[in-house]
Amino acid sequence: MLYRISCTEMDALFAALSETKTVYLPADREDGQASFVKWTEGTALSNRLNTVRSAKDFFFPQIQPLARFRREGQKIEITDLREESEDFVIFGARACDVRSFEILDRVFLADPVDTSYQTRREHAAIVTMACARPEETCFCTAFDIDPAKPADGDVRAYIADGYCYLEPLTEKGETLLAGAGECLEESDGAAVEAEAGRIRAILEKLPLASLKPADNREKELDVFNSPKWEEMASHCLGCGACTFVCPTCQCFDINDFDSGHGIERYRCWDSCMYHDFTLMASGTPRLTQKERFRQRFMHKLVYYPIRYDGVFSCVGCGRCLRKCPINMNIVKVMKELTGVRPAGAGEEA
Protein backbone atom coordinates (compact mmCIF):
# COMPACT_ATOMS: atom_id res chain seq x y z
CA MET A 1 0.00 0.00 0.00
CA LEU A 2 1.27 3.46 -0.83
CA TYR A 3 0.05 6.72 0.68
CA ARG A 4 0.80 10.31 -0.09
CA ILE A 5 0.42 13.73 1.43
CA SER A 6 1.10 17.11 -0.07
CA CYS A 7 4.41 18.61 1.08
CA THR A 8 2.53 21.69 2.22
CA GLU A 9 0.50 19.55 4.63
CA MET A 10 3.44 17.88 6.35
CA ASP A 11 2.72 19.70 9.58
CA ALA A 12 -0.66 17.96 9.78
CA LEU A 13 1.04 14.58 9.41
CA PHE A 14 3.61 15.37 12.10
CA ALA A 15 0.87 16.68 14.37
CA ALA A 16 -1.12 13.47 13.92
CA LEU A 17 1.92 11.30 14.62
CA SER A 18 2.85 13.45 17.61
CA GLU A 19 -0.42 12.67 19.30
CA THR A 20 0.86 9.31 20.40
CA LYS A 21 4.60 9.52 19.82
CA THR A 22 7.43 12.01 19.90
CA VAL A 23 8.51 12.79 16.35
CA TYR A 24 12.12 13.60 15.51
CA LEU A 25 13.12 14.90 12.11
CA PRO A 26 16.12 16.56 10.47
CA ALA A 27 15.67 20.33 10.45
CA ASP A 28 17.78 23.11 8.94
CA ARG A 29 20.02 25.13 11.20
CA GLU A 30 21.24 28.65 10.79
CA ASP A 31 24.73 27.54 9.81
CA GLY A 32 23.52 25.68 6.74
CA GLN A 33 23.69 22.23 8.28
CA ALA A 34 20.91 20.01 9.61
CA SER A 35 20.27 18.26 12.92
CA PHE A 36 17.61 15.95 14.23
CA VAL A 37 15.19 17.90 16.41
CA LYS A 38 11.96 17.12 18.17
CA TRP A 39 9.04 18.23 16.03
CA THR A 40 6.96 21.11 17.28
CA GLU A 41 4.43 23.00 15.23
CA GLY A 42 6.10 24.58 12.25
CA THR A 43 9.32 22.53 12.28
CA ALA A 44 10.06 21.84 8.63
CA LEU A 45 11.73 18.73 7.28
CA SER A 46 15.21 19.55 5.99
CA ASN A 47 16.20 18.90 2.41
CA ARG A 48 19.84 18.49 3.38
CA LEU A 49 21.36 15.19 2.45
CA ASN A 50 22.40 14.34 5.97
CA THR A 51 22.55 15.61 9.52
CA VAL A 52 25.87 16.52 11.15
CA ARG A 53 25.49 13.82 13.77
CA SER A 54 24.14 10.51 12.66
CA ALA A 55 20.87 8.95 13.80
CA LYS A 56 22.70 6.49 16.06
CA ASP A 57 22.27 9.10 18.80
CA PHE A 58 18.68 7.93 19.24
CA PHE A 59 19.73 4.48 20.39
CA PHE A 60 23.27 5.04 21.54
CA PRO A 61 23.42 8.58 22.91
CA GLN A 62 26.78 10.27 23.39
CA ILE A 63 26.34 10.33 27.12
CA GLN A 64 24.07 8.24 29.24
CA PRO A 65 23.82 8.23 33.05
CA LEU A 66 23.76 4.70 34.40
CA ALA A 67 23.59 4.84 38.19
CA ARG A 68 24.06 7.02 41.22
CA PHE A 69 25.78 5.84 44.37
CA ARG A 70 25.25 7.62 47.62
CA ARG A 71 26.46 6.69 51.05
CA GLU A 72 24.17 6.97 54.03
CA GLY A 73 26.11 5.94 57.11
CA GLN A 74 27.00 2.29 56.61
CA LYS A 75 24.68 1.83 53.66
CA ILE A 76 25.22 2.56 50.00
CA GLU A 77 22.14 3.63 48.15
CA ILE A 78 22.16 2.80 44.45
CA THR A 79 19.76 4.50 42.05
CA ASP A 80 19.29 3.27 38.51
CA LEU A 81 19.41 6.32 36.25
CA ARG A 82 18.56 4.60 33.01
CA GLU A 83 15.34 5.99 31.63
CA GLU A 84 12.43 4.08 30.22
CA SER A 85 12.12 4.98 26.60
CA GLU A 86 8.87 6.38 25.20
CA ASP A 87 7.52 5.61 21.76
CA PHE A 88 9.13 7.79 19.15
CA VAL A 89 9.39 8.23 15.40
CA ILE A 90 12.55 9.02 13.47
CA PHE A 91 11.15 10.67 10.38
CA GLY A 92 13.39 11.12 7.40
CA ALA A 93 16.58 9.30 8.29
CA ARG A 94 18.54 8.31 5.20
CA ALA A 95 19.02 4.75 4.06
CA CYS A 96 22.67 4.77 5.14
CA ASP A 97 21.83 5.79 8.70
CA VAL A 98 19.04 3.25 8.92
CA ARG A 99 21.36 0.49 7.76
CA SER A 100 23.77 1.50 10.52
CA PHE A 101 21.19 0.40 13.11
CA GLU A 102 21.59 -3.17 11.89
CA ILE A 103 25.33 -2.88 12.35
CA LEU A 104 24.91 -1.57 15.88
CA ASP A 105 22.27 -4.25 16.61
CA ARG A 106 24.76 -7.03 15.96
CA VAL A 107 26.91 -5.61 18.73
CA PHE A 108 24.45 -4.29 21.28
CA LEU A 109 21.75 -6.93 20.93
CA ALA A 110 24.10 -9.89 21.05
CA ASP A 111 24.49 -11.62 24.38
CA PRO A 112 24.83 -9.90 26.83
CA VAL A 113 22.07 -7.66 25.53
CA ASP A 114 22.42 -3.94 26.11
CA THR A 115 18.96 -3.45 27.58
CA SER A 116 18.97 0.30 27.35
CA TYR A 117 19.80 0.13 23.63
CA GLN A 118 17.21 -2.60 23.20
CA THR A 119 14.33 -0.63 24.74
CA ARG A 120 15.13 2.37 22.61
CA ARG A 121 15.19 0.21 19.50
CA GLU A 122 11.85 -1.35 20.40
CA HIS A 123 10.19 1.99 20.99
CA ALA A 124 11.32 3.51 17.72
CA ALA A 125 9.48 3.61 14.41
CA ILE A 126 11.72 4.59 11.51
CA VAL A 127 10.71 6.39 8.37
CA THR A 128 13.52 6.13 5.82
CA MET A 129 13.69 8.87 3.24
CA ALA A 130 14.99 8.18 -0.25
CA CYS A 131 17.85 10.48 -1.28
CA ALA A 132 16.58 12.88 -3.90
CA ARG A 133 19.98 14.50 -4.29
CA PRO A 134 22.94 12.24 -3.53
CA GLU A 135 26.28 13.98 -3.28
CA GLU A 136 29.87 13.40 -4.24
CA THR A 137 30.72 12.08 -0.78
CA CYS A 138 28.10 9.32 -1.00
CA PHE A 139 29.21 5.72 -1.40
CA CYS A 140 26.48 3.71 0.28
CA THR A 141 26.04 1.67 -2.88
CA ALA A 142 29.44 0.14 -2.11
CA PHE A 143 27.70 -1.57 0.81
CA ASP A 144 24.64 -2.62 -1.18
CA ILE A 145 22.42 0.08 0.23
CA ASP A 146 19.85 1.43 -2.18
CA PRO A 147 19.05 5.08 -1.47
CA ALA A 148 16.69 5.06 -4.45
CA LYS A 149 14.47 2.46 -2.81
CA PRO A 150 15.43 2.11 0.85
CA ALA A 151 14.87 -1.42 2.11
CA ASP A 152 15.41 -0.76 5.83
CA GLY A 153 13.16 0.95 8.33
CA ASP A 154 9.44 0.67 9.02
CA VAL A 155 8.27 3.05 6.34
CA ARG A 156 9.96 4.08 3.12
CA ALA A 157 9.39 7.65 2.00
CA TYR A 158 9.94 9.76 -1.07
CA ILE A 159 9.50 13.38 -1.79
CA ALA A 160 8.54 13.95 -5.40
CA ASP A 161 6.29 16.31 -7.37
CA GLY A 162 5.32 18.24 -4.26
CA TYR A 163 4.11 15.13 -2.45
CA CYS A 164 5.59 13.00 0.26
CA TYR A 165 4.96 9.33 -0.54
CA LEU A 166 4.92 6.82 2.29
CA GLU A 167 5.09 3.08 1.96
CA PRO A 168 4.96 0.86 5.04
CA LEU A 169 7.57 -1.91 5.06
CA THR A 170 6.70 -3.54 8.37
CA GLU A 171 3.72 -4.08 10.60
CA LYS A 172 4.99 -1.32 12.84
CA GLY A 173 5.09 0.95 9.81
CA GLU A 174 1.50 0.10 8.91
CA THR A 175 0.31 0.85 12.42
CA LEU A 176 2.22 4.11 12.38
CA LEU A 177 0.60 5.28 9.17
CA ALA A 178 -2.81 4.06 10.30
CA GLY A 179 -2.36 6.35 13.29
CA ALA A 180 -1.73 9.29 10.97
CA GLY A 181 -5.47 9.34 10.34
CA GLU A 182 -7.21 11.33 7.68
CA CYS A 183 -4.36 13.33 6.28
CA LEU A 184 -2.98 10.56 4.07
CA GLU A 185 -4.51 9.58 0.77
CA GLU A 186 -3.87 6.39 -1.15
CA SER A 187 -1.76 6.59 -4.25
CA ASP A 188 -0.46 4.39 -7.03
CA GLY A 189 3.22 3.67 -7.43
CA ALA A 190 3.92 5.51 -10.67
CA ALA A 191 5.44 8.66 -9.16
CA VAL A 192 7.56 6.63 -6.78
CA GLU A 193 8.89 4.36 -9.52
CA ALA A 194 9.78 7.38 -11.61
CA GLU A 195 11.58 8.99 -8.67
CA ALA A 196 13.52 5.82 -7.91
CA GLY A 197 14.55 5.61 -11.52
CA ARG A 198 15.69 9.24 -11.49
CA ILE A 199 17.75 8.65 -8.36
CA ARG A 200 19.32 5.49 -9.79
CA ALA A 201 20.50 7.42 -12.82
CA ILE A 202 22.23 9.90 -10.50
CA LEU A 203 23.78 7.12 -8.44
CA GLU A 204 25.50 5.74 -11.51
CA LYS A 205 27.19 9.06 -12.04
CA LEU A 206 28.51 9.49 -8.48
CA PRO A 207 32.28 9.97 -8.37
CA LEU A 208 32.53 7.09 -5.90
CA ALA A 209 30.05 4.86 -7.75
CA SER A 210 32.65 2.27 -8.66
CA LEU A 211 34.08 1.99 -5.15
CA LYS A 212 33.96 -1.55 -3.77
CA PRO A 213 35.45 -2.58 -0.45
CA ALA A 214 37.93 -5.42 -0.74
CA ASP A 215 37.05 -8.59 1.12
CA ASN A 216 40.19 -8.94 3.17
CA ARG A 217 38.89 -11.51 5.64
CA GLU A 218 41.47 -14.04 4.53
CA LYS A 219 44.26 -11.46 4.56
CA GLU A 220 43.82 -10.05 8.02
CA LEU A 221 47.52 -10.10 8.88
CA ASP A 222 48.67 -8.88 5.50
CA VAL A 223 46.45 -5.87 5.80
CA PHE A 224 47.44 -5.34 9.41
CA ASN A 225 51.12 -5.39 8.50
CA SER A 226 50.74 -3.29 5.37
CA PRO A 227 53.41 -0.59 5.13
CA LYS A 228 50.75 1.79 3.88
CA TRP A 229 49.34 2.50 7.34
CA GLU A 230 52.38 4.50 8.31
CA GLU A 231 51.86 7.00 5.52
CA MET A 232 48.08 7.10 5.73
CA ALA A 233 48.18 7.84 9.45
CA SER A 234 51.15 10.18 9.32
CA HIS A 235 49.10 13.36 9.41
CA CYS A 236 46.14 12.20 11.45
CA LEU A 237 45.61 14.70 14.24
CA GLY A 238 44.21 12.08 16.59
CA CYS A 239 40.92 13.88 17.12
CA GLY A 240 37.65 12.03 17.28
CA ALA A 241 35.65 13.94 14.66
CA CYS A 242 35.35 10.94 12.33
CA THR A 243 34.36 8.64 15.17
CA PHE A 244 31.74 10.91 16.64
CA VAL A 245 29.96 11.70 13.38
CA CYS A 246 30.16 8.07 12.26
CA PRO A 247 26.87 6.15 12.37
CA THR A 248 28.57 2.82 13.01
CA CYS A 249 31.26 3.67 15.57
CA GLN A 250 30.14 2.04 18.76
CA CYS A 251 32.99 2.25 21.28
CA PHE A 252 32.24 3.68 24.66
CA ASP A 253 33.80 4.30 28.01
CA ILE A 254 32.30 4.12 31.49
CA ASN A 255 33.32 6.77 33.97
CA ASP A 256 32.44 7.99 37.42
CA PHE A 257 31.80 11.59 38.36
CA ASP A 258 32.15 12.66 41.96
CA SER A 259 29.54 15.34 42.57
CA GLY A 260 30.47 15.87 46.18
CA HIS A 261 27.19 14.27 47.26
CA GLY A 262 27.79 10.94 45.62
CA ILE A 263 29.06 9.26 42.52
CA GLU A 264 27.35 9.32 39.19
CA ARG A 265 28.30 6.56 36.80
CA TYR A 266 27.81 7.30 33.14
CA ARG A 267 28.70 5.88 29.81
CA CYS A 268 29.92 8.01 26.94
CA TRP A 269 31.31 7.63 23.46
CA ASP A 270 34.99 6.98 23.20
CA SER A 271 37.26 7.02 20.20
CA CYS A 272 39.98 4.60 19.21
CA MET A 273 41.72 7.59 17.65
CA TYR A 274 42.54 8.91 21.13
CA HIS A 275 45.92 8.09 22.61
CA ASP A 276 44.41 7.02 25.93
CA PHE A 277 41.73 4.79 24.44
CA THR A 278 43.67 1.66 25.32
CA LEU A 279 45.40 3.10 28.37
CA MET A 280 45.93 0.49 31.07
CA ALA A 281 47.90 0.36 34.28
CA SER A 282 50.88 -0.81 32.25
CA GLY A 283 50.60 1.96 29.66
CA THR A 284 49.06 1.83 26.22
CA PRO A 285 49.80 -0.91 23.70
CA ARG A 286 49.00 1.41 20.78
CA LEU A 287 52.00 3.63 20.96
CA THR A 288 51.61 5.88 17.96
CA GLN A 289 48.79 7.30 15.87
CA LYS A 290 49.55 4.67 13.25
CA GLU A 291 48.27 1.90 15.50
CA ARG A 292 45.19 3.88 16.52
CA PHE A 293 44.39 4.89 12.97
CA ARG A 294 44.88 1.33 11.80
CA GLN A 295 42.59 0.03 14.51
CA ARG A 296 39.70 2.18 13.39
CA PHE A 297 39.85 1.04 9.79
CA MET A 298 40.77 -2.56 10.55
CA HIS A 299 37.70 -2.70 12.75
CA LYS A 300 35.41 -1.36 10.06
CA LEU A 301 36.87 -3.14 7.06
CA VAL A 302 38.38 -6.36 8.40
CA TYR A 303 37.55 -7.33 11.99
CA TYR A 304 33.84 -6.63 11.79
CA PRO A 305 33.46 -8.55 8.51
CA ILE A 306 35.37 -11.49 9.99
CA ARG A 307 33.07 -11.56 12.96
CA TYR A 308 29.82 -10.93 11.12
CA ASP A 309 29.83 -12.87 7.85
CA GLY A 310 31.48 -10.33 5.62
CA VAL A 311 29.34 -7.36 6.60
CA PHE A 312 31.35 -4.14 6.68
CA SER A 313 30.99 -1.68 9.51
CA CYS A 314 30.55 1.30 7.22
CA VAL A 315 27.44 2.53 5.44
CA GLY A 316 29.00 5.07 3.10
CA CYS A 317 27.21 8.11 4.51
CA GLY A 318 30.22 10.30 3.75
CA ARG A 319 30.26 12.16 7.06
CA CYS A 320 33.93 11.42 7.73
CA LEU A 321 34.76 12.68 4.25
CA ARG A 322 33.22 16.00 5.13
CA LYS A 323 34.31 16.39 8.70
CA CYS A 324 37.89 15.22 8.98
CA PRO A 325 40.07 18.30 9.59
CA ILE A 326 42.74 16.93 7.27
CA ASN A 327 40.47 15.07 4.87
CA MET A 328 41.80 11.62 5.61
CA ASN A 329 38.96 9.14 5.44
CA ILE A 330 37.74 5.63 4.93
CA VAL A 331 37.43 6.01 1.17
CA LYS A 332 41.10 6.90 0.85
CA VAL A 333 41.93 3.94 3.08
CA MET A 334 39.74 1.58 1.06
CA LYS A 335 41.42 2.72 -2.14
CA GLU A 336 44.89 2.28 -0.65
CA LEU A 337 44.04 -1.17 0.59
CA THR A 338 42.93 -2.25 -2.85
CA GLY A 339 46.07 -0.78 -4.34
CA VAL A 340 44.44 2.29 -5.84
CA ARG A 341 45.84 5.70 -5.03
CA PRO A 342 43.65 8.76 -5.22
CA ALA A 343 44.16 10.60 -8.48
CA GLY A 344 46.70 13.38 -8.13
CA ALA A 345 46.98 16.86 -9.47
CA GLY A 346 50.11 16.91 -11.56
CA GLU A 347 49.15 19.94 -13.57
CA GLU A 348 48.82 23.59 -12.72
CA ALA A 349 45.53 24.14 -10.91
State yes or no: residue 195 binds another protein (CB under 8 A). Answer: no
Angle at which helices 95-108 and 115-123 cross, to 10°: 140
State yes or no: residue 305 binds another protein (CB under 8 A). Answer: no
Q: State which residue, 34 or 155, has the beta carbon closest to another protein.
A: 34
Distance in angstroms (rounded) separating the CA atoms of residues 29 and 199: 26
Q: Are 96 and 317 in contact (CB under 8 A)?
A: yes
State yes or no: residue 266 binds another protein (CB under 8 A). Answer: yes
Provide CB contacts within 8 A for 321, sequence distance 6+: 137, 327, 329, 330, 331
Distance in angstroms (rounded) separating the CA atoms of residues 199 and 318: 17
State yes or no: residue 209 binds another protein (CB under 8 A). Answer: no
Rounded to a whole number of angstroms, the minimum distance from the CB of residue 38 to another protein is: 15
The strand ranges marked E within the chain are: 3-6, 22-28, 34-38, 63-72, 75-80, 88-94, 124-129, 155-160, 163-168, 185-186, 252-258, 263-269
Rounded to a whole number of angstroms, the minimum distance from the CB of residue 324 to another protein is: 8
The only residue of 7, 183, 202, 311 in contact with another protein, by rule CB under 8 A: 202
State yes or no: residue 133 binds another protein (CB under 8 A). Answer: yes
State yes or no: residue 234 binds another protein (CB under 8 A). Answer: yes
State yes or no: residue 274 binds another protein (CB under 8 A). Answer: yes
Residue type, 100: S
Q: Is the peptide bond before 168 cis (omega within 30 degrees of 0)?
A: no
State yes or no: residue 240 binds another protein (CB under 8 A). Answer: yes
Query: Which strand ranges, in their side-by-side order, compose the sheet holding 185-186?
Result: 34-38, 22-28, 88-94, 124-129, 155-160, 163-168, 3-6, 185-186
State yes or no: residue 306 binds another protein (CB under 8 A). Answer: no
State yes or no: residue 179 binds another protein (CB under 8 A). Answer: no
The site map against another protein for 63-102 (x = CB under 8 A) is: x-x-------------------------------------
| Residues of this chain that bind another protein (CB under 8 A) | 31-33, 35, 49, 52-53, 62-63, 65, 133-136, 202, 205-208, 234-235, 237-241, 243-245, 253, 255, 257, 259-261, 264, 266, 268-271, 274-276, 279, 321, 323, 325-329, 331-332, 342-346, 348-349
